[in-house]
Structure 1
Amino acid sequence: MGKYFGTDGFRGEANVDLTVEHAYKVGRFLGYYFGKEHRPKIVIGKDTRRSSYMFEYSLVAGLTASGADVYLLHVTSTPSISYVVRSEDFDCGIMISASHNPYYDNGIKVINGCGYKLENEVEELIENYIDGTGEEIPYATKENIGRTTDYVIGRNRYIGYLISLVTRSFKNMKVGLDCANGSASSLAKVVFDALGAKTYVINNEPNGININEKCGSTHIEGLQKFVVENHLDVGFAYDGDADRCLAVDDKGNIIDGDLILYVCAVYMKKKNELNNNTVVTTIMSNLGLYKAFEEKEIAYEKTAVGDKYVYENMMENGHSIGGEQSGHIIFSKHATTGDGILTSLKLMEVILETKMKLSDLIKEIQIYPQVLKNVRVKDKKTAREDAVIVNAIEEVTGILGSNGRIIVRESGTEPVLRVMVEASTIEECEKYVNLVVEKLKAQGHVVA
């Protein structure tokens, strides 16, 4: 990770960690960088945070001042930006979003011309320019100043693309959608309605400050209750920028990213669509997922946390599916990033083709109890490398043996350590997570 850019772009509290000046300079650099040999075309999308409009205008000012032409998709999803960039010959795309973070945070995700997250070396050049250590960038003048164009048609083409991937009607299917008052609000219902589903939608009225507020994939309990009360066949919950999806089955049970990977991989193997008979996961996936894959004779690989690393592994090895427990699922035949709405369509395909309820599709997998606590700390690296903390982790690892595990890792997007334990019982998980958290407090690492 760099000084400003983490595993998922430049993220922080709006006008505190990430300011309009930062956004302007990002725009200035990208317009210059991609415009060295031709007039660059750059597409911008945003989620529904109040500050997203502010950052959009700041980025546009920087880009056009450097001679770039800018195309605005307005409120849309991160995967839609990726799709438009790679299918319509843009030099790069920018998504303004802090994903699942609260409304007062925001972020700038830059997507390269292939529809994938920007290369680390280019992010480093942007950081140098922000800090004033990079080369001087000239202003465009006269007819070389960039133009700005409304480009809602790009978002509409993405919607059409999603619909085109579906081969069966959703008629008579009762589907619940939790749009998190975010990007999915402008997309998800349109897609499911077009495919014939009887669609029930919640958290679809963004007001700038209610994105992810007790809703969406990070607060799925509302959708669980909604699915059961309305006797729905399935429910899908998205995050702020709709690149994640979690599901709720017909009985109200949470279907997280691990279970989605299992359901889709088993189905893809039967259809001879599981390239290399392999699924790409991260180190945070549940032990039960790996045991279930072994029983189904499906191979798996583990990467560092972040859909960025999952996709790199998939591209390097030609794998067709990979993802994270959090709901970032990548289907490499159709997308280059996690795509929440695409994921929900793929799950619908499995349900319809197998003629099975989602609750039946997960019957054969046994998930280990898992507890994850996010601990806000003063310095992630210092806390993680503290000898007392390292010893505590080693102690827990020895106690759990082959019947569990502990992972303590730095967040790539927040000043947080994530402490996760899997074990035979939830009580064991809580006991050992709390042990490490108390050690962090005792060592003075935790923010009061």
Structure 2
Amino acid sequence: MATRLFGTDGVRGTANDLITPELAMKLAQAAAVVLGHEQSQRERPVAVVARDPRISGEFISAAIEAGLAGSGIDVYDAGVLPTPATAFLVADLDADFGVMISASHNPAPDNGIKFLARGGKKLSDADEDRIEARMELEAPRPQGGDVGQVRRFSDAEDRYVLHLLATLPHRLDGLKVVLDCAHGAASGCSPEVFTDAGAEVVVIGADPNGVNINDGYGSTHLEKLQEAVLEHKADLGIAHDGDADRCLAVDHEGAVVDGDQIMAILALALKEAGRLKDDTLVATVMSNLGLTLALQEAGISVKQTAVGDRYVLEGMREGGFSLGGEQSGHVIFSDFATTGDGVLTGLQIASRVAQTGRSLKELAAQMTRLPQVLINVKNVDKTKVSSDEGVQSAVAAAETELGETGRVLLRASGTEPLVRVMVEAPAEDAARRLAESLADSVKERLSLG
């Protein structure tokens, strides 16, 4: 069976290996038909194209725009922008679809092509499959005045900044904030919006040169942010990833505040303001049990989904919920965005600090994070993890020992012969002991040799 081209977040791989100009153009030509001509009410469909600052994004965006315009699509080239900004602009312009060229938190040699449906929403699996199938057919070849035009979207960043400022419940006057932009797509707009919101801003990791994106900076490398917060005696630090769809934070003492703690802070703030729909947060099964316990105490339910922001979004849409996210820092405010937005999330955290007069450390302490140990067990038959009696017996024994004070999760990888064993317990040594025991059981019972 042929491998599906689209992964969990668009088409992603090494630039000029998998992600070639030829592939980019064919994808664009196919999307022009599936998302443009077949679905648009316009005589000439419209698309927004943006990218992160990777050097390969220049030739990929050129190929994408050529494929779209050559297929009769008018293109707004928004230049370097965060993924959530692109999603916002698709909706704001009422464009038929959007294209974001980015590999998110991956290193510079990688790149990716992600399509956004009308309204700035993630594409359905069915539309992705239709695009992939359409790539096998002849592309449209309009002539003369029927070809598309490519226009520079000159006020794209300004529109996004104004949108973000309009979401603020409280200005940031009096706060000192360190921003780590990962040498990525938020290097321009994040410092601008935090400054406009009233904060004193110290910026690191905001000098993209095409090859330094995510290199030692950003939400996957928090050490420099921790150092800068302490050096500048800042109130807090905010870290984005390369395309700024996620956010992690650092408190004034340099301690990391992860996505679960961020969601706890924001869920409690929204409930207090009467804006948390059905007093419910949507989070994945990998979120810390401490998040559920803290929110239950405050009268907030946690709806769990499979791992991946697309599943969080599905869970939010099904119930019309207003807040959801992942431990990694993808946080989605459905009132303001259709996808995770790291700049928006950072603003809301800082606004909560300013509004309450409480430190980020104090706000994060509203949730007690249980020790969590994760072990990847490789080269095993992952299809039997939920049916093997020996493995399930070991899981039951661990759950009995933990009772209500901890949690066990065994999860098969979607792409490898691998099972992830996760245990949460009140103490680190108990979590590690049980996780190692379960990992041994999985290896012994399900090994592929």
TM-score under structure 2 length normalisation? 0.90
Is structure 2 residue 131 aligned with structure 1 residue 126?
Answer: yes
**Which of 216, 219, 222 is residue 217 of structure 1 equivalent to?**
219
For 1:445 and 1:229, the matched residues in 2 are separated by 51
Contact 1:282 1:324 in 2 (8 A): yes
Q: Please name the residue that 2:59 is paired with.
A: 54
CA contact (8 A) 2:381 2:417 kept: no
For the Cα contact (< 8 Å) 1:2–1:124, is it kept in 2?
Answer: no
For the 8 Å contact 1:307–1:323, the answer to whether it is kept is: yes
Other-structure match for 1:316:
318
| 2:368 match: secondary structure | coil
TM-aligned CA deviation for residue 55 of structure 1: 1.1
2:354 alignment partner in structure 1: 352
Pairwise mapping of residues 96-115 of structure 1 onto structure 2 (< 5 A)?
96-115=101-120
Shift of 1:65: 1.4
Of 138, 146, 152 in structure 2, the residue corresponding to residue 144 of structure 1 is: 146
Alpha-carbon displacement from aligned partner over 1:352-411 (angstroms, at most 9, x marks no partner): 221111111122321111234568x78xxx752266996785365234313231333425
Match of 2:383 in 1: 385
Q: 1:270 aligns with which of 263, 269, 272?
A: 272
Distance 1:445 1:359, change over 3 A: farther
- Where does residue 20 of structure 1 map in the other structure? 21
Alpha-carbon contact 2:94-2:119 (below 8 Å) kept: no
Shift of the 329–140 alpha-carbon distance from structure 1 to 2, 3 Å rule, reads: same
Matched to 2:206, the amino acid is N
Match of 2:243 in 1: 241
Alignment CA distance shift 1:438-1:335 (3 Å) = same
- Check conservation: 1:216, 1:240, Cα contact below 8 A: yes
**CA apart distance, 1:319:** 1.2
Distance 1:14 1:336, change over 3 A: same
83-92 or 17-26, which deviates more: 17-26
CA distance in 2, matches of 1:230, 1:347: 19
Q: Name the CA shift for 1:26/1:200 in 2 (closer, same or farther; >3 Å).
A: same
Looking at structure 1, the residues matched to 103 and 390 of structure 2 have their Cα atoms a distance apart, in angstroms, of: 32
SS at match of 2:262: helix
Which runs of structure 2 are paired with 1:388-399 in the superposition (5 Å)?
A: 394=392, 397-399=395-397
Residue identity opposite 2:116 in structure 1:
I
Q: Is the 8 A contact 2:181 2:190 kept in 1?
A: yes
Q: Secondary structure in 2 aligned to 1:208?
A: coil
Matches within 5 A, 1:45-84: 45-84=50-89
Greater mean alpha carbon deviation, residues 160-169 or residues 88-97? 160-169
Contact 2:410 2:419 in 1 (8 A): no
Q: Is the 8 A contact 2:80 2:185 kept in 1?
A: yes
CA separation in 2, counterparts of 1:435 and 1:22?
46
Conserved 8 A contact 1:283-1:302: yes
Q: CA deviation at 1:168?
A: 3.3
Q: Verify the 8 A CA contact 2:48 2:95 in the aligned structure 1.
A: yes
CA distance in 2, matches of 1:362, 1:323: 16
**Corresponding position: 1:5 with 2:3:** no
Counterparts of 2:112 and 2:435 in 1: how far apart (Å)? Answer: 30
Cα 1:231/1:275, change in 2 over 3 Å:
same
Are residues 404 and 205 of structure 1, via their aligned partners in 2, closer, same or farther at CA, if it must alter by over 3 Å? same
109 and 168 in structure 1: CA distance in 2 versus 1, 3 angstrom threshold? same
Structure 1 match to 2:339? 337
Cα distance between partner residues in 1 of 2:441 and 2:23? 37
Structure 1 unmatched ranges of 5 or more: none
Q: Per-residue deviation at 1:178? A: 0.7
In the TM superposition, residue 420 of structure 1 has moved relative to its aligned partner by: 3.4
SS of residue paired to 1:216: coil
Question: Structure 2 CA distance, aligned partners of 1:436 and 1:140?
Answer: 60
- In structure 2, give the amino acid aligned to 1:102: P
Partner residue in 2 for 1:92: 97
* Correspondent of 1:361 among 360, 363, 368: 363
- One-letter identity of the residue aligned with 1:308: R
Q: Would you say how many aligned residue pairs link Structure 1 and Structure 2?
A: 438
Of 279, 282, 291, which residue of structure 1 is paired with 2:281?
279
Cα offset for 1:229?
A: 2.3
Q: Deviations over 1:107-135 (max 9, x none)?
A: 111111111111211100111133x2xx4
The alpha-carbon deviation at position 425 of structure 1 amounts to 3.2
| Distance in 1 separating the partners of 2:428 and 2:18 | 37
Counterpart residue type for residue 407 of structure 1? L
CA distance in 2, matches of 1:415, 1:44: 36
In 2, the alpha carbon distance for the partners of 1:17 and 1:228 equals 42
Structure-1-length-normalised TM-score: 0.90
Checking the alignment, whether the CA contact within 8 Å between 1:389 and 1:439 is kept in structure 2 is no
The AA in structure 1 aligned to 2:408 is R
Name the amino acid aligned to 2:320: G
User: Deviation digits for residues 234-274 of structure 1, max 9, x if unmatched?
Assistant: 11000110010011111211111111111111111111111
Cα RMSD (Å): 2.7
Contact 2:382–2:417 at 8 Å: present in 1 too?
A: no
The answer (yes or no) to whether the contact 1:174–1:232 under 8 Å persists in 2 is yes
The residue aligned with 2:32 is: 31
Contact map agreement 2:175 2:200 (CA 8 A) in 1: yes
Q: Check conservation: 2:175, 2:235, Cα contact below 8 A.
A: yes
Tell me the distance in 2 between the aligned counterparts of 1:140 and 1:441.
58
> What secondary structure does 1:172 align onto?
coil
Pick aligned residue for 2:262 from 236, 250, 260: 260
Partner Cα distance (2:185, 2:419) in 1: 27
Match of 2:301 among 296, 299, 306: 299
1:265–1:321 contact (8 Å) kept in structure 2: yes
Code of the aligned partner of 2:330: H
Q: The residue matched to 1:111 in structure 2 has which SS? A: strand
Which segments of 5 or more consecutive residues in structure 2 lack a partner in the other structure? none
Task: Provide the C-alpha distance between the structure 2 equivalents of 1:146 and 1:440, rounded to a whole number of angstroms.
Answer: 56
Closer, same or farther in 2 for the Cα pair 1:373/1:411, shift >3 Å? farther
CA displacement, residues 203-243 of structure 1 (integer Å, 9 cap, x when unaligned): 11112222112221111122122212221101100011001
